[in-house]
Structures are given as C-alpha cells and as structure tokens.
A and B are shown apart, each in its own frame.
Chain A
Amino acid sequence: MREPVEIELQPLGQSISVEPGTSLQDVLHGYGVEFPCGGNGRCGGCRIKLLAGTLAVTPPQAQILSASEIEQGWRLACHCRVDGCLTLEVEQWDTAILTHHASLQFAPRPGRGIVVDLGTTTLVAQLLDLQSGRVLAVQKARNPQAVRGADVMSRLARALEPGGRQELADLIRNEIGALLVGMLDSAPNAEKAIESVVVVGNTVMHHLFCDLDIESLAYSPFDSPNDGLQEFTAEQLGWRLPGSPRVRFLPGLGGFVGADILAGVLATSMHESDEVVALIDLGTNGEIAAGNRERILCTSTAAGPAFEGGRISQGMQASTGAIAEVRAEGGGLACHVIGGGKARGVCGSGLVDAVATSLDMRLIRPNGRLADGSHSLPLTNDICLTQSDIRELQLAKGAISAGLRILLARLGTDEEQLAKLYLAGAFGNYVNPASARRIGLFSARAERVEAAGNTALLGAKLALFGEGFADMRFADLLSRIEHVPLATDARFQEVFIAETAFPGPQ
C-alpha cells in the first residue's frame, strides 16, 4: 500500500489525508463542492482550482474547460484522481452563482454574511464576503434532531410531547450556533463582524427552529398561520457571533413547502421565467414547484425516504461503502461503491440506477415485479434489492411524478411542453437523471432536465445578496405562489396509482 497523500483546501485552510488514486469527487463533496450533473463531466459545476501539485487533464475536462482555464489551474473535481500532494481552491461562488445568475442584482457592501440550509437530515452553512461574493468557509453537520426521528412527521410527534418542542428547538439552535462558531474559527479574521444570517428550511424545520406552535402542522389540513419571515437577534438564539447580526428564517410557501423551496424558486429564476419551468427537490420530503413569472404552484408529496436509501432493506445514505452507481456490464450489473471498498449497502442513486438498468435488461417488469419470479435481485455478493425495495421505490416515484403531473395540469400544460426541469437536493448531487427518467420519475425531454445542486443554499445566498430583497418578506413573490395540497385533489389518487408503474421498454 502506498503512503497517503495530503490535500490542502483553500480558502478553508483545512488539510485532508487520502489514499493515492482516490477520486476527488468522493472527498470534496463533504467540503462544499457541488456536483450538479452528478459527476459526469457535463456541467462544469464542480470546477476547482489547482494551486500546487498536479492533476491530469482528462478528455471530458478538455471539452468543458478552455485552454486558458486549464493553464490557470482549473479542473473538474469529478474527473480528477489524486496522485500526489495537492493544494486546491474549492470555492464555488463564481461558478455556481454568477454564471447562472447574470441578472442577479448584486450590490457589493462591506462585511460578511452567513447562509444556513437547515435540512431535516443535514445542515450546511457558508460564510460569505459581502463585498466580493466569495465563500470564505463552509461547514456541514447532521441535524441533531435526527435522534428524535428521521422524518418531519416523527419530529412533529416528538414536539407534541411535553417538553419536546423546547428540546428540539434547543438541539437545533445549539448545533447551528456551534457550527457557526466553528466555521468562523476556520476562516481568517474570526472576530470580524457578521452583518446578516439567512436561514432556509422546510416548514417543520422552520417551526422547530423558531420554537413556534406546531399543532397546525401536525393535523389536517397541515397548514400553519405562522410560516412567515421570522427574525431574531443572535443573542436570542444563544449564538455568540461578532457584530450581533439579525438572524432571519425566510418565509414558507404553505403546507410543508418551506423557505427552502422559496430559495429554490429564486435559485432557478422561476419567478422571472417567461415559460413554465419546474423544480423537484428530493430530500427527506419531496417538494415540487412549477410555474413562470405570472404564477407558481407548489406542493409537497409523501414520497418517503427511498431516494435517500431509507426504508430499503440494505439501504444507506450516500457515504463510504454505499453502492452509488449501477450499470449494465457483460450481461450483468456492475456497481460503483463510494470510496472504492466493499459494498455495505445501497444509497438512493444506486437504487434508482439499479432499477433503471434492470428495467432495460428486463430483469424487472414495468409493473415492478422481478421477472424471474424471485424476491431478490443481487447487486453484489452481499448486497441485493428485495421485491419490497422495488415497491418502496414505486411508491416514492409515483408520489413525485403524480405531484408534478397534477401541478402542470393545473397550469394548463404538461411535461412535454415544460421548458426546463430542475432537479435539486439529493438529485442534483447524486441521482443520474437518465436513470430517474427511465424509472418514470419524470418524462421531460433529457435536454431540458438540469441538475441544479443545492438550490436552497443558492437561493439563500441570492436573498442575502439581492438588492431588492431588503426586508426579506418576499411579499410580491409570495402573492404569486400558491400551495396545492395534493390530498384534496380529486385526481391525485388515480394519477398516483397509475404512476406507481414503471415506463415500458424503451
């Protein structure tokens, strides 16, 4: 075995030690580098700058990057393997926002700001220079509320118990407070004032963070009167941040659809689009928004956690040991395992790939049944998909695609006419869009499907930087967004049942 090599990450000032031959994609995702196209070398979203050391320029990189960019040291992290010690610049701001948001009203001002994406499972925070727009530091952590249940409903159940609401609010406020202090310490000038903190998340995360009454979210019709903008001082939250900034949790859109989807609308410029576009955000919940500059509809679906490897017999999150990709090879299935070692389970992207490939190979019938009449499909010697796992995926994808179809029908259009379909959340980073299309999660034309990365975080940055959003209430935008509760749609059940089937041979 060869000696491990060191990778120094700037401007984070962190050093990591990896085995030679390790893929940068496997390593850098944990440090805030996003892989919008899933690491296929198509979008250039994962570009990083080589400051010291060498990284080979593979043909896909030569296609995406110009000769002068390569000369300056730019590489695509998804196509680089580590050979020796490196120093890398891994800030994402320039590529992720400025290139896709030429219309952004960016008003440089002195000082620093923070954005936080408060997910049901994961927390991500970024420290930003408000003058240059640069990302100064990134921190990630698990949502500590997960000890009280993986999904929003179990968190709500806990919050309804005596003392539960206080416990969950304390857990998340303390964790984010510590995360932000750690992030400031990792960047230069830790004592420099923070001007503003913007937090986004789904409606349940919003209420639990803001310590609001959650009764209205726990019972039908699942709509809270308190999902508007919430403002705090850092002191009120028990956070010791230089400059005592205002902390704002952005408003939600109705039902379970929260500020993270408002951020998604901003990040995809849906509210400025002439044509109808749609956004699917697949996290622990599945949320959908669709519309244009005139009108936007949004909804949440009870998709369940299958796309994150949840409720799958050998399912796991996308971490070391997870089967993350599956493709046909030599008449069988070939699996890529994160980290390259022995497979420990299968994550959402691997599940979608495995089923898509098996549909093509006629190992699974369009009705979801394993074609050989058995109840399990081996992926490797140790890991298999069971018939029930495939059923879970059918339920999850049926809920999402039915939701999308119903929103578009209400807008008087359909997927065929959709100008753009943005895939955010777990999708953007992991799930192969071609596989998602093959299992029938959506039917939009491949060239109109775009992986959009963490749109919650992107949108939060736009809110922080945007000139027109000074009060962060988004009153005008919210007046054009309507929440559609799917449970009350007469057609939902019929469409959902039909959408649990997979598309036939293609």
Chain B
Amino acid sequence: MSDALVETLHSSLLELDQPKTVAAARAICSGDGEPSAEQAVQALAAALEIVGQRFQQEDWFLGELVYAGEIAKQAMEILTPHLSALATQSSGTLVVGTVAGDMHDLGKDIFITYARSAGFEIIDLGVNVSAERFVEATQVHRPLALGISCLLTICAGGIPQVIEALAERRLRDGLRVIVGGAALTAEFAAEAGADAFAPDAVTGTRVIEKWSGV
C-alpha cells in the first residue's frame, strides 16, 4: 500500500506544485486501487482545509487561494472517473450568483472552486443576477442552498429582495441562503434574512458541508 502517494498529493498541493500534484493524482489512478481515489480526494480536501486556514491567518493571499483551488480542480478531474458510484454522489446542489447590479465574480468563483472540490454540484448564474432569476433557478434545480455574492455596498439592498421574492413564491422553507462578499457583514446577512454569512470561500464551503451533513 502506497500511502506515500497520498502524502505527496497532500503536500504538493500545499507547496502549490501543480505538476507534482497532478502527477500524484495520475499515479494513484493508474495504480492497483491502493490507495483508492476516495483516499486521494480526502487528502485533497484536507489540504484545502489547510489552505483555508493559511488564508484566514493571512499567511496566504488571493493568489495562493486561487492557485490552490485551480490545482485541486485539476486533480479532482483526474480522480473523479475512478471514484465509486457512492463517492461520486453529489453532496448537494447549490445555486450561486452575484446580486443584481454587481459585476464582480472573483469571490463567487473562488467559492465555486472550493465548493466543487467539496463535492457539491454548482449551478452558476453568473453576475448581475436579478431576484427573478434566482427564484427561477431555485424552482428548477431545488438546491440545498442558494449562495449570493455582493461586492458593492450599493447593490447589497438586492439581497433582501431576493430572499423576499423566494418567500413570496413559498420557496424559502427548506432552502438555506448563504451570502458573502466585501460589501457584507454577518449583521447585514442576519438582517437581510440569510441563514449564514461567508467571510471567505473556505468558511462558506464549511458551512454548506455542515448543512448537507457531509
């Protein structure tokens, strides 16, 4: 059994060594099933957890956060076909978008990378998403949670509008709403009627994992 390969996958992601991480993922897939792709995915998730801690502790910044997410994504693409049917089952569906009037997608996209790595299926509505489009997507996809991003203070008023529109269509019950972005605070999120505030992509992913019971 070659736990060394899993260890390499984990450590090379934390060294932001893309070739080495990808090579380790390939080696695991072409092996005899020991270590398994599932073990590899767990190692990646554990490494991303550490990436998140480093970001929160200010050791790392956006560049490392985005790059680590990108490397993990590439490794996941290699590993996914080798996962058992049980393991490929989605942890849940998330509908994600940036609020109306706001064109910023950076924070939203980092969140999506991390949530996908955690096994969630993402419906990305893009930027400048109207309340109506959030409602429609919720009706169609019946997601576990709705994620709304907002960078501009002036657009933050759009968030309670989305949540009210969901309530009007009786879609709010059983749906969790998480919001994040530079314009927002935990207080604002609570006042707007959201279930959670994500100060960063990693924390946000952890909140959703809790909701899905992963």
- Interface residue ranges, A against B (CB under 8 Å): 153-154, 156-157, 160, 218-222, 367-369, 373, 375, 387-388, 391, 394-395, 485, 487-488, 493, 496-498, 500-501
Contacts and interface: CB of A to CB of B under 8 A. Distances in A.
Interface of B: 58-64, 66, 100-106, 109, 127-128, 152-155
Contact of A391 (B58, B100, B153, B154): B58
A368 to B, nearest CB: 5
A368 B61 contact: yes
A218 B61 contact: no
B34 to A, nearest CB: 37
Nearest to B66: A497
A368 B63 CA distance: 10
A400 to B, nearest CB: 15
15 contacts: A154-B154, A156-B154, A218-B101, A219-B100, A219-B155, A220-B103, A367-B63, A375-B58, A391-B61, A394-B61, A487-B104, A488-B103, A493-B109, A498-B63, A500-B63
A399 B60 CA distance: 18
B106 A493 contact: yes
Contacts of B153: 153-154, 157
B168 to A, nearest CB: 22
Contacts of B58: 369, 375, 387-388, 391
Contacts of B105: 493
Given A219-B154, A220-B102, 14 more contacts: A153-B153, A154-B153, A157-B154, A220-B101, A367-B60, A367-B64, A368-B61, A369-B61, A373-B59, A387-B58, A485-B103, A487-B103, A493-B105, A493-B109
B114 to A, nearest CB: 15
Contacts of A496: 106
Contacts of B102: 220
A387 B58 CA distance: 7
Among A157, A220, A375, A496, chain B packs the most CB atoms within 10 A around the CB of A220
A504 B190 CA distance: 43
| Chain A contact residues: helix, strand, loop or mixed | helix
A299 B58 CA distance: 30
Given A153-B154, A387-B58, A501-B63, A220 B106 contact: no
A327 B187 CA distance: 42
For the complex of A and B, list the 6 residue pairs with the smallest distance between their C-beta atoms, beginning with the closest: A487-B103, A219-B101, A387-B58, A220-B128, A157-B154, A220-B101
A500 B61 contact: yes
Contact of A218 (B59, B103, B154): B154
Nearest to B106: A493
Nearest to A395: B62
B63 A221 contact: no
B105 to A, nearest CB: 7
A369 B62 CA distance: 12
Given A219-B155, A493-B106, A493-B109, A367 B100 contact: no
A254 to B, nearest CB: 15
A385 to B, nearest CB: 12
B101 A500 contact: no
Nearest to A386: B58
A313 to B, nearest CB: 13
Contacts of A498: 63
A134 B100 CA distance: 50
B78 to A, nearest CB: 22
A366 B100 CA distance: 36
A498 B102 CA distance: 22
B68 to A, nearest CB: 12
B14 to A, nearest CB: 14
Contacts of A368: 61
A156 B152 CA distance: 11
A139 to B, nearest CB: 32
Nearest to A496: B106
A361 B63 CA distance: 22
Contacts of A218: 101, 154
A501 B102 CA distance: 25
A394 B61 CA distance: 9
Nearest to B102: A220
Nearest to A388: B58
A208 B63 CA distance: 37
A395 B104 CA distance: 14
Given A154-B153, A220-B128, A375-B58, A497 B63 contact: yes
A487 B127 CA distance: 10
Nearest to A498: B63
Contacts of A388: 58
Nearest to B155: A219
Contacts of B101: 218-220
Among B103, B105, B106, chain A packs the most CB atoms within 10 A around the CB of B103
B174 to A, nearest CB: 31
Nearest to A499: B63
Nearest to B58: A387
Contacts of A395: 62
A222 B154 CA distance: 12
Contact of B60 (A154, A219, A369): A369
A329 to B, nearest CB: 28
A369 B103 CA distance: 29
A369 B59 contact: yes
Contact of A153 (B62, B63, B152): B152
Contacts of A500: 61-63
A216 to B, nearest CB: 11
Contacts of B59: 369, 373
A5 B109 CA distance: 61
Contacts of A220: 100-103, 127-128
A153 B127 CA distance: 19
Nearest to B151: A302
A218 B58 CA distance: 32
